[in-house]
Structure formats: C-alpha cells, structure tokens
Amino acid sequence: MKKIVINTLLLLTVACKSNEKKTEPVIQAEPENKTTPVKTETVIPAATDSLVPYPVLTGESLAPEEMQYIGHQENNVIWFNSVKEFNETDPKKLELLYGQPIPDVATLYRLKKERMLAGRKKFSSNYKPIQPKVPAGWEQPFYIAYDTSLADVVYRYGDMDNLGYGWPTGFDPFSGENTPVHGFPFYPEPNDPAGTDRIMVISGYEYKKTGIASITNRTDGYTSATKRPYNNPEKLKLEYDLKGKTVQHALLQIFVDDFQSTSFKSKFRVWLNGKEAVWINSYLNELKQGGPIGKLLSLQVLPEFIPMIQSGKLEILIDGPDTDAGDGFAIDFVQLLINPKDIAVSPVKGKVLDAKSNKPIAGAFIKISGASETESDAEGNFSVNNVPCGMVVIQAAGPGYKGNKVVENVVQDKSATVTIKLEPESDNGMQTQLEEKGKVELYGIYFDSDKATLKPESENTLQQVLALINNKPGQQLEIGGHTDSQGDDAYNLQLSEKRAQAVMQWLKNHTTNVSNLSSKGYGETEPVADNSTETGRALNRRVEIKLVNK
C-alpha cells in the first residue's frame, strides 16, 4: 500500500485573516464598547486516496487555467491532486524535472505553484529570448510579411517563445535542432492564439470521474498534470491576406512538442478545413518526442489541398478520437510559407535493403516529408537534396515488401544518412502491421491500365491477404481502392471502387470467410504523396486493407 504524505501538509496550516476591516487606534475608547475580532482558522478536510487538501495562503489567487494543474479549490482549501504523481513517479525523474529532490507532496506542490506564478512573468524585462537567430516579430501572436527572401508570403500563427520557456542563446528554431528538455505544466497567456502554448490531450482519452488521469490507461506527464476542459484539443485558425498572390506551392511548418505515438500507441489524425490530411497522420504517428522537447516539423502541402491555402483561411485540428492513450502534446507556433524560396535545407542520403538477405532493393519508392519523392537505384541507394530542416519521416515501399519508415533529424549544414530495411510481405507481417497501424498499404496488387482487371503478378500479394483473412476470420476489414489525380475526379472514384470490388471478388472466389469484408473506393481523395511527380503518383495508386473501428 502506497504511503500518502500528509504530515508535512498539516504543519503548513495557515490561519486565515479576518474579513473585518482594520481601523486606526483611537486615544479614548470606552472599554465596554471594545470588541475583540474573532480569529478564524482554515479547516482542512481529510485526505482521500487520490487527493490531498492544502490550505490557501492569504492573497494567493490562481486563474482557472492554472488551477487545472493543481486540482480544484473549495473556499480556503485547494484539493491537491499531485499526490498520484508523487507516489507513482520515479524520485530521480522528479528531481531531474524540478532541479532538486522532492521529499514529500508539499514540496511538489510548492514547486508547481512557484513555476506557475513565475510563468505569469515570462518575457518580462529580464527574460526575453532576443537573439539574432530568432526572426523579427517573434513576440507577435500573428505575423505576416510579403515578398521576403523566405517566401512570397510568410504567415506565422502563435508567438515564437518555446511554450514560454525561451530559446537557448544562439538557437535557431528552423535549424532542425531539438530544444533542451523543459518542465511542465505550462499554460497560455491571454493573447496566445487558440491551440498554441497549451497542453492538449487527445479526445479519445477518458479521465476518471474525479478528473484525475487514469492509473490503468497509458498516460504521459502532460495528461496527468492537466484535466478537462482545459486540455481539450483546439483548432488552430489561420487567417491571412494573400494580396492577390497565386499559391503554387506551400510549406507548413509546425513547432511540435511531446508527440509520442510510438511510445503510447496513440493514433493522431489531422484535419485541414475539415478534410482529413492522411499524409500528415503518418508523420505524426511516427514521432517519439520524449523529454519533453520541441522540434520543427516541415510538411509539403499536397496539390489537392492548395485551394484551401488559396482561400486565405486554414483550420488545423490535431486529435486522436479513436484511441484511449493519454498522449498529451503541444504546439508553439505554425508557420505557413506561400511559394517558399530560400529556406533552411540539407541533403538526405540512404540505402534500402532487404531485411532478411541484406541485399539492396532497386526501384523502391522513397517519400520524405516536406520534400519530393524518388526511387532507389540498382544498388538500393537514393539521395534527395534540399530537404527542409527539422524532423522528417522517410518512408520506403516496394512491390513484394512491407513498407517501412524511419524518423530522422535533418539539421542545417549537416548531411543525413539513413538505412531502411524492408521486410518481405507475408501474412504474419501484414497482421502485425494491421494491429500496429490499423491498415496495410499494398503495392503488390497490379491492374491493367485504366481498368479493374487484376494482373497475374498480383497473385503473390493476394495469397498473403487471403492467408491473413483465413487466420483471423473475425476481423472487420475494408478493402480500399486509391488512385492518383490524373484524369477526372468522378472517373477516378468509380475506377477505385471497381478495383476494390475486383480484389473483394478474388477473395470471395478463394475463401468463405468474407462475411466481415467490405470494399470502398476513395479515388484521389486520400493521397499519401505528391501527385505532381511520377513517384508520388505511383505511391498514391494503391490498395489498402484497413481494420474497421481501429
């Protein structure tokens, strides 16, 4: 049974001051009219299993968004909820986080409170991260500039303050370097735009009725330190005037913090103006930002979403409604570059190998977030220049192989080199990927050009899908057809539906375990790569097996 430290709290009981007004002493006063003020004391309720009471010192006042990090207040008592954090967190981790040993809950409360009150004074005259490498206008909640060396239009949403902790001397947020580890919690200032400088926890996570983070569910520190509704995911609402400029290309740069999908098995999803941006999902769900630390993520906006950018309004929502992992995250700022020019870039080189034989794989499709696509050569090598600095996800896929991804920090003036190993497709490999990612992208299913007729070379991949279905016949699976953007939208949608149905029919002809299968055509609506390149179009032409309700 875990011990809850209360003794130290009881020693800190503070008498509340009387509400009576003090008067100046008088020289003559009638003794019979003299009254003695009654001194009242705070009555401290008993502790519970998950909450510890704490008296409020006279003059203390915490705003609602600050109070969320403590618990809740009733009259002169704060119900302090960090007893769970104290009892269940490694003492060394707490010491590292707060810079000193934490012997009891009272000390933890004091340090939390001091940090919050100090946060009110951030960017005072003695704390401003002014330095040559932070661009002009860093302190503004909204910033826009035209015809710069960086882009035709530079629009920034949110002040560049590293969540209020400031930047190290000489640090360049766009260099691709990680920020130092910072503490938490932190909270937004009144002028911080929606969705920035605040902790957000995916909506799929459910707190206990008390508002405290679940002990049984997977949770991180951000989730444990905050509660609803203050940590609900918020839309980032970008509005800007293009002044008549035509958007040809766009780069979306997001300074993200503490995305840990690979650790907590959360499944982030991103919507732009209400339309799901599938290609961004795959990037966020490969990140592992322990620490917590901040990092720049640069994302090339696919052509299908350019009309949204042209409209002058872009709403970004990041959430994880389908998983119950308590994965909290934060965003410091978003920068949108319209027709980017001279941005910080570095080259990325790599090699694609067969995971079993260690032999090079030729003709593998390579996709790097924020950059163009390419293919591996006869020796399995690939090279992409001018990759925007920051955290990038490098994806490789090829016929007969299960796709794989690696996360790499691309730092300015440094060349990044990676090796990606691909596992040969098998029913076991498909099942593992299905359980981990919720879907499998199949690039080994081929059709006649502009038709839904399966080619003979699709047999091997189809047999693996068949084995997957027969091994677990109870799984609810969807066969999804996807095309590139060449041709008419309606035609592509119809073609994708027919191709998904063709795969479905092949499976029906080879097994009776089809009652839980369905098919759907998506056309060109869910691209995973840039349709302006041949490699990108090849990646978009695919069949997916998706686990329904995953």
pLDDT in tens, 275-324: 999 888 878 887 777 668 888 999 889 888 999 999 999 999 999 998 88
Whether 331 contacts 317, CB under 8 Å: no
Whether 520 contacts 270, CB under 8 Å: no
- As a whole number of angstroms, the distance between CA 352 and CA 402 comes to 12
Spell out the residues 6+ positions from residue 287 whose beta carbon is closer than 8 angstroms to its own: 256, 259, 260, 261, 262, 295, 297, 391, 407
Main-chain dihedrals φ then ψ at residue 176, nearest 5 degrees: 95, -5
Whether 189 contacts 71, CB under 8 Å: no
CATH match for 344-424 among 1.10.287.3510, 3.65.10.10, 2.60.40.1120, 3.20.20.70: 2.60.40.1120
Of 225, 163, 174, nearest in space to 198 by CA: 163
DSSP-assigned letters across all residues of 73-127: EETTEEEE-THHHHHHS-HHHHHHHHTS---SHHHHHHHHHHHHHHHTTTTSTT-
Residue recorded with tokens 């997957």: 468
Length of the chain: 550
Vertex 310, ends 308 and 311: CA angle to 5°?
65
Whether 193 contacts 160, CB under 8 Å: no
pLDDT in tens, 161-204: 888 888 877 888 999 988 888 877 787 887 899 999 999 999 98
Between 42 and 335, the higher pLDDT residue: 335
Check whether 111 has a pLDDT greater than 80. Answer: no
- Could you state, in order of their start, the residue ranges of all structural domains in the chain? 7-119, 142-340, 344-424, 430-550
Vertex 33, ends 31 and 39: CA angle to 5°?
95
Which stretches of 411-506 are assigned E, i.e. beta strand?
416-424, 439-442, 477-482
pLDDT at 31: 44
Over residues 140-150, the mean pLDDT reads 95
| pLDDT-based confidence at residue 130 (cuts at 50, 70, 90) | very low
Instruction: List b or e across 297-308, with b for residues whose CB sees 16 or more CB atoms inside 10 angstroms.
Output: bbbbbbbbbbeb
- As a whole number of angstroms, the distance between CA 211 and CA 456 comes to 57
Spell out the residues 6+ positions from residue 351 whose beta carbon is closer than 8 angstroms to its own: 360, 376, 379, 380, 381, 382, 418, 419, 420
Establish how many alpha carbons lie within 13 A of residue 217's alpha carbon, considering only the half-sphere containing its beta carbon. Answer: 20
Of 119, 154, 152, 116, nearest in space to 135 by CA: 154
Which range of 32-36, 316-320, 456-460, 467-471 scores highest in mean pLDDT? It is: 316-320
Q: Is 424 exposed, middle or buried (0-12, 13-18, 19+ CB in 10 A)?
A: middle
Sheet holding 313-319, edge to edge: 236-239, 313-319, 269-272, 275-276
pLDDT at 180: 84
Check whether 134 has a pLDDT greater than 80. Answer: no
Check whether 100 has a pLDDT greater than 90. Answer: no
User: What one-letter code names the amino acid at 396?
Assistant: A
- As a whole number of angstroms, the distance between CA 366 and CA 256 comes to 24
Spell out the residues 6+ positions from residue 421 whose beta carbon is closer than 8 angstroms to its own: 352, 353, 354, 355, 358, 404
Whether 502 contacts 546, CB under 8 Å: no
Which range of 222-231, 364-373, 461-470, 488-497 scores highest in mean pLDDT? It is: 488-497
- As a whole number of angstroms, the distance between CA 481 and CA 524 comes to 9
Of 385, 393, 364, nearest in space to 539 by CA: 364
pLDDT at 325: 81
As a whole number, the mean pLDDT across the chain is 79
Q: How many angstroms separate the first and last alpha carbons of the chain?
A: 36
Model confidence, pTM: 0.64
In Å, what is the CA distance from 423 to each residue of 353, 355, 361, 408?
9, 5, 11, 20
Class of domain 430-550: alpha beta
